[in-house]
Amino acid sequence: MSVEAEQIVLPDAELLLWRQIDLHRPLAELRQRLVDELHWQQTPIRIYGREVMQPRLTAWYGDADAAYRYSGVTHEPLPWHPLLWDIKALVEQYSASTFNSVLCNYYRSGQDSMGWHSDNEPELGPEPVIASLSFGAARRFLLQHKKDKSLQWQCSLGEGDLLLMRGATQRFYRHSVPKTAKTTDLRINLTFRRIIVQ
C-alpha cells in the first residue's frame, strides 16, 4: 500500500491510477485462479431491440441484494467467491471506498473487447465510484468526453494495475477496450462497484 497513485488531470473527470498493486500473492497465481474458479459465461445483451452475444465472458458477484440492470438484462449476483472477497478488501484500501458487487470480464484474446459505454446505470447513483483491476495481457483503455470529443485519454492497463474512476467521470465520459491484433493472450478485468440498494 505504499505506492502513490498517479492522478490523471482531465476536465469533468476524476481518475486515479496505481501500477502493479500489492495483492499479497503472485499476480500470475491469482489470474489463474480467477480463470479456473469463476463462473464465466458468454451472455447476450440487447442493442436496439436485438440480442447479440457480448464479445467477452463475464461473471457477476456481489451481496445478495445488489441486483443490477445492464444493457436490458437483470443480473442477479452470485454469492462472493472468497478470492474476490479478499481482493475486494485490498482494492477498498487503495480506493478509500467500499463496494458491494463486482463485474468480472474475461477477454479471451485481443479479439475480445468492450464497446464504448458509461457505467451510469441509475443503480450506481449520481457519482459512481468504479475500481477496475486488471490481470493478464496489457490492453488499451480509452476514455472520451461525450460532448467535446477532442477531450480524450488513454492508457495501457497491465497486470496488477488499478484504475479508479469517480466523481463526474461516468456522467461526462465514455470508455472502451478496443480489439487489438497485438496480443492473443487472455486478460481479466474486475470492476468493483457499489449498487445503491433501495
Ligand X SMILES: O=C(O)CCC(=O)C(=O)O
Which DSSP letter does residue 55 get?
S
The verdict on 121 binding Fe ion (CB under 5 A) reads: no
Binding site partner of 104, from Fe ion, ligand X, none, Cβ cut-off 5-8 A by kind: none
The partner residues of 70 in beta bridges, in order of sequence, read 73
Among 63, 119, 121, 123, binds Fe ion (CB under 5 A): 119
Binding mask 95-124 for ligand X (x = CB under 6 A): --------x-x--------x----x-----
Binding mask 177-196 for ligand X (x = CB under 6 A): x-----------x-x-----
Binding site partner of 105, from Fe ion, ligand X, none, Cβ cut-off 5-8 A by kind: ligand X
Element (H, E) at 92: helix 82-95
Say how far apart CA 164 and CA 155 lie, in whole Å: 13
- CA-nearest of 143, 163, 160 to 152 is 143
Chain-centre distance for alpha carbon 113: 12
Coil, strand or helix at 86: helix
Residues at the site binding Fe ion, with contacts judged by CB under 5 A? 119
Which residues would be at the binding site for ligand X (CB under 6 A)? Answer: 103, 105, 114, 119, 132, 141, 157, 175, 177, 189, 191
